[in-house]
Every structure is written in C-alpha cells, then in structure tokens.
C-alpha cells in the first residue's frame, strides 16, 4: 500500500468514523452525504492527477509522448494525436489521444502544406513529405 492510496482512503474513513462516533442527531443525513460527496470529489481529483502522468519529450528531432514520465512538456509536436486501431482493423487518426501510433493506414501520406504545415492526405500515396512528430 502506498502513501497515495492511504491518502485516498483516509478522508472517507475519517468521515465515516466521525459520523458513527458522534451518534447524535445533530448531523443530518444530507449533511453527511454532502461531506461524503465532497470527500469523494477530492479523491477523484487526486485520481485524475495520477492519471495525468506523461509528457512530451524531445527525442532527437522528434517530439514523442512518454507515458511513464512526469513534469512539464519538453516540446510540442507539429500535430498532436496518433493513429489508433479500431474495429475490423480500421486505422483512424485521433487528434485527442497521445502515445505511439497503433497502426498506419494502408493508403495515405503526410504532406507538407504551403504554410509549412503537415497534413494527412488519405487519398495520396508515396513517401511522407513531412514528419508530424517533428518538434514545433
């Protein structure tokens, strides 16, 4: 058991112990429920902080997501997101996800735009013209 897990379990246990030990009708059920909801919300905030682990790290000329690291991002890629494997071997771009690509569509390539952008063109073939993982 870690300090964090003890910290997440301790506030609800203290609230429960206080409610049971007081045994007085002064604390109404809604007040106890409200305190318990607040405690669970704080525990949820701590859990989301734990889930926020990971950051972008500079790896040569690339900006790669490292899920096992913490702290501020060292860089920002030209395009955030990754290809994700879906049902029936579908491979789609998810702009709101981080990590290494899970797949690569059979057709398409990254193309360089006139404004120095890097865009996926699913209807084109050939080698990539740009690298979406390049440091911005």
Structural domain contains residue 129:
no
79 and 23 in a common domain:
no
| pLDDT digit string, tens, across residues 83-125 | 999 888 899 999 999 988 999 999 999 999 888 889 999 999 9
- Report how far residue 17's alpha carbon sits from residue 12's, in angstroms, rounded to the nearest whole number: 9
- Report how far residue 119's alpha carbon sits from residue 132's, in angstroms, rounded to the nearest whole number: 8
Structural domain that includes position 71: 55-121
Number of structural domains the chain divides into: 2
User: What local confidence, expressed as pLDDT, does residue 101 receive?
Assistant: 92
pTM of the prediction? Answer: 0.56
Structural domain contains residue 128:
no
114 and 88 in a common domain:
yes
């Amino acid at each position: 058991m870690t300090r964090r897990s003890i910290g997440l379990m301790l506030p609800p246990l203290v609230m429960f112990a206080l409610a049971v030990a007081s045994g007085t009708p002064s604390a109404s059920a809604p007040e106890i429920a409200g305190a318990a909801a607040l405690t669970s919300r704080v525990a949820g905030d701590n859990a989301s902080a734990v889930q926020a682990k990971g950051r972008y790290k500079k790896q040569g000329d690339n900006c790669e997501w490292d899920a096992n690291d913490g702290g501020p991002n060292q860089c920002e890629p030209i395009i955030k997101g990754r290809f994700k494997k879906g049902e029936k071997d579908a491979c789609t771009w998810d702009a709101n996800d981080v990590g290494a690509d899970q797949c690569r569509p059979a057709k398409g390539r990254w193309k360089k735009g006139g404004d120095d952008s890097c865009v996926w063109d699913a209807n084109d073939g050939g080698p990539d013209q740009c690298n979406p993982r390049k440091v911005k």
